[in-house]
Amino acid sequence: MLTKYQIQGGKPLHGSITISGAKNAAVAIIPAALLVDGVCRIENIPQISDVSLLLQILQELGAEVRTVNRTTVDIDCSHIRNRQVPYDLARKIRASYYLVGALLGRFGWAEVPLPGGCDLGGRPIDQHVKGFVAMGAEVDVRNGLICAKIPNGRVAGGQVYLDMVTVGATMNIMLAGTLAEGMTVIENAAKEPHVVDLANFLNSMGANIMGAGTDVIKIRGVKRLRGGCYSIIPDQIEAGTYMAAVAAAGGEVLIQNVIPKHLECITAKLVEMGVEVEELDDAVRVKRTGMINRANVKTMPYPGFPTDMQSQIAAVLCIAAGTSVLTEGIFDSRYRYVDELRRMGAHIQVDGKVAVIEGISSLTGAPVHACDLRAGAAMVIAGLAAQGTTEIDGIHHIERGYENLVGKLSGVGADIREITVEDGELQTHVG
Ligand code: EPU
């Protein structure tokens, strides 16, 4: 049985969409609960499969996880009894690497399966390891596991200068350093909103972390974290994805529950492309009536244009007036979706980290594949803008990071539905 999204394109979007909690904050904050002695109430949790997997992993480790309501969970890791992270669950997601920092910080010992996640070319974890080693750990990889151990049981502080700006290593070192014996300093740290959110979560539970959001983060180790309540920030990339969807399909949508400051890098580019964006206190109004202008886009660490929006903006530039140049500044290979956009008539040439997009007047619907999470979002955007029917398979990738995408887009007038196909036959339609 195969589930796909089916989109009849060419319908402008009108109404409002409410943004969920940030995936890349949630997937670090949930493992961070391992460091807390007591109950953490986490609010604004997105309902996505990466989050369910991490909650399941914590439960397998012995955490008590109680669903309070649709977006709130209570997690109590006071009585962790098992430290074997289930292999099959952990290797499905990238964020399982945060279990290393969290378990090392709490127990001085971690064995975690090497992470999975989107295939974006090589995704080494050498900077995470460099950080753990600087903090006194012995680390090696064997039998598919990252094995990290502190000989005397408690992480010592350490000084780490990251060779490149990495979100994952910055947050993992922060996790390992929270309960350390001394001070940890991360230089050339990532400044993404979710880095700040993790620091705020940990500080609200009693940690002493300074400088998150700048390129030097100082973590003074504390003896214990106590329970508390924390609400995750809204998802910058989910909001940016719907902004791009309005740009591509046309119309006017109020995107609610956002932090407009986090969206500035996306807003600035859309405005350059001829889209109207009005910033309100906790919402942005996005409107596109005329043509899309060509633009050059280079992805960079925050506050630059995010790599996680690269494919979605590419889908919009496919129908821009003129030729655009897209440069991927973070990952080796993030253009696997280009072949799928070509099926819809897009004119794109890729050479290494650069894609040249020659705008055409309209895309045409086609059967396409979501090869990763953001690539899948790009297919949805292209499908909304295209003439005719687009069917997208591989939607489990999209569900890893977008809560109720079909419902949110249907709510603003998109003709998108989930269909289930068995043995090549269309079987049922789900709203
Ligand atoms: N890098 C290394 N060594 C390391 C770590 C990173 O060489 O030890 C390199 C990477 O290969 C990449 C660059 O440094 O070229 C940046 O990688 P980063 O560590 O920032 O990425 P990540 O932790 O693997 C997270 C998000 C990604 C997002 C990137 C960049 C999670 C679970 N994943 O990945 O999210 O693209 O940061 O912002 O938080 C997504 O949401 O679609 C997604 C892929």
CATH number at residue 50: 3.65.10.10
106/63 Cα distance (integer angstroms): 14
CB 46 less than 6 A from any atom of ligand 1 = no
Q: What is the mean pLDDT of the chain?
A: 94
Whole-number pLDDT of residue 102: 97
- Domain match, 312 and 176 both: no
More confident residue, 424 or 354: 354
- Domain match, 199 and 73 both: yes
Band of pLDDT at residue 158, cut at 50, 70 and 90: very high
Among 184, 204, 231, the domain boundary falls at: 231
**Which residue's alpha carbon is nearest to atom 22 within ligand 1?**
168
- Domain match, 296 and 311 both: yes
Whole-number pLDDT of residue 91: 83
- Domain match, 227 and 254 both: no
Q: Is it true that the peptide bond before 303 is cis, omega within 30 degrees of 0?
A: yes
Q: Is 135 exposed, middle or buried (0-12, 13-18, 19+ CB in 10 A)?
A: buried
Do 149 and 138 meet the contact criterion of CB atoms below 8 Å apart? yes
Hey, is 121 helix, strand or coil? coil
- Domain match, 239 and 380 both: yes
CB 94 less than 6 A from any atom of ligand 1 = yes
Domain span at residue 140? 23-231
pLDDT tens digit sequence for 242-257: 999 999 999 999 999 9
Which of 118, 167, 313 to mutate to test ligand 1, by most ligand atoms within 8 A of the CB atom?
Answer: 167
Strand-pairing partners, residue 318, are none
- Domain match, 219 and 259 both: no
| Whether 118 is catalytic | yes
The residue among 19, 22, 382 whose CA lies nearest residue 192 is 22
Ligand 1 centre from 301 Cα, in Å? 10
Tally of domains within the chain = 2
pLDDT tens digit sequence for 166-211: 999 999 999 999 999 999 999 999 999 999 999 999 999 999 999 9
- Domain match, 267 and 376 both: yes
With 70 as the cut, is the pLDDT of residue 400 above it? yes
- The residue whose two tokens read 């309100």 is 280
What is the number of the ligand 1 atom nearest to the C-alpha of 24?
39
Given 40, 77, 118, 371, the catalytic residue: 118
- Domain match, 266 and 207 both: no
Whole-number pLDDT of residue 81: 79
- Domain match, 13 and 36 both: no
Ligand 1 centre from 220 Cα, in Å? 25
CB 163 less than 6 A from any atom of ligand 1 = no
Band of pLDDT at residue 430, cut at 50, 70 and 90: very low
With 50 as the cut, is the pLDDT of residue 422 above it? yes
Percent of the chain with pLDDT over 90: 87
Among 196, 231, 266, the domain boundary falls at: 231
Among 178, 201, 231, the domain boundary falls at: 231
- Domain match, 187 and 286 both: no
- Domain match, 60 and 186 both: yes
- Domain match, 143 and 267 both: no
